[in-house]
Structure 1
Amino acid sequence: MVPNIEIFKSRGVGMEQIIRHIYNFPRFLLHSPNDMKKFVKKVDEMGTCRSSKMFIHAVRIVSSMKDENWELKLKYFSNLGFSEDDIFKMFEKTPHVFAVSQRKLKNVKEFLLETGKYDISSIVSHPIPFLCSLEKNIKPRMQVLGILESRNLIGKWPSLSTITVMSDSKFLEKFVHPYSNEVGEVYMANNVLNSKRTTKIGIK
């Protein structure tokens, strides 16, 4: 483990991040130093900046797959319509999406494009939707926003990052509470809220 810690330290990864990975992903740092250097090299080749906080996460994601599975994942992203540059950008921003199943990648990408609100470039800039629940997070929020838009209650459609990164409490505060008569029941019906949050909406 110590040689691997030194590999990351020599590449600018802080001890706080390394320690966090020791606790959360202990097996990750048990790879042989030679293998770890290969994983690091692969991440370097994809253009992920070593100073990025995502660097060690990117190396861990690469280490979790066999070479053939990694190549298949890259090919699948390409088949979904992402260019090599798109793929590298998403990997640098959110390497965790490369651990997502092919089925989910396809479903999320198709749903977002079918809404007509986002395009490939939107997804490349904000890959987080691939990590969210399509049924419990993305669809209910899009439905709420669709209702608000149809009634001219929102002036501008929110960005993809707003849709997916915003917490339930913030989404409620901005898009549900002020229009509870119009969308409150819709939001609840999709089982997005637990019982405690439901009592706070004030829907009768």
Structure 2
Amino acid sequence: MVTIGVPRGSRMFRHALHAVASLREEEVAARVEYLRNTFRWTDAEVGMAISKFPPVLNKSKESLQLRSEFLISEVGLEPVHIAQRSVILGHSLEGRLRPRYYAMKFLKENGLLKRDSSYYTVFKESDMAFKKKFIHPHKEAAPHLEKDYDAACKGEVPTNFRFT
């Protein structure tokens, strides 16, 4: 029997049951193994990630691979950091994660951030809260930023967000 690490009494247990309801035990085991390999997680980290965000078991391999490459290789997050905040794996890569990462990178490289916010905080904010905290305060210094961010959220890559 495969253990996915979600305690029966936790509020996520119902979500975990829903995530595995249509899967055979072998499929759950294969998905757990894929998570372990893709994110370079230990067994404990896989359990932590699933217990915090059970729908990760239903994400496609391609989706998980792209998120792993982006979060680990491009953003530079440690695998354990992702496991502890696995809910970020539920956010759209192209519609939220990349645009916000590029906006924050732009702000950092242009000396517009007073303090370094964690990417978890940046990724979890609602769109309105993100703009209010990170985009609107810089309207004068970067008047194009909101327009570029909105375009990036639609899948376009504005020139100002391109980094070499």
Structure-1-length-normalised TM-score: 0.68
Name the SS of the counterpart of 1:121 in structure 2.
helix
Greater Rg over alpha carbons, structure = 1
Q: 2:111 aligns with which of 152, 164, 170?
A: 152
Separation (CA, whole Å) in 1 of partners of 2:152 and 2:66: 18
Matched, 1:70 2:28: yes
Greater relative contact order, per chain length (Cα 8 Å cut-off, separation 6+): 2
Q: Tell me the residue number matched to 1:163.
A: 122
Name stretches of at least 5 consecutive residues in structure 2 with no aligned partner.
155-164
2:6/2:50 contact within 8 Å kept: yes
Separation (CA, whole Å) in 2 of partners of 1:114 and 1:46: 26
Q: Tell me the residue number matched to 1:186.
A: 148
Q: Tell me the residue number matched to 2:5.
A: 47
Q: 2:102 aligns with which of 143, 160, 174?
A: 143
Give how far 1:145 is off. Answer: 0.3
Taking only aligned residues, the RMSD between alpha carbons, in angstroms, comes to: 1.8
Give how far 1:71 is off. Answer: 1.6
Alignment of 1:11-50 (within 5 A): 45-50=3-8
1:128/1:161 contact within 8 Å kept: no
Q: Deviation digits for residues 50-107 of structure 1, max 9, x if unmatched?
A: 3321011111212121222112101111221111111000111110111111111110
Amino acid aligned to 1:140: P
Is 85-94 or 109-118 further displaced after alignment? 109-118
Q: Percent identity?
A: 26
How many residues are paired up? Answer: 150
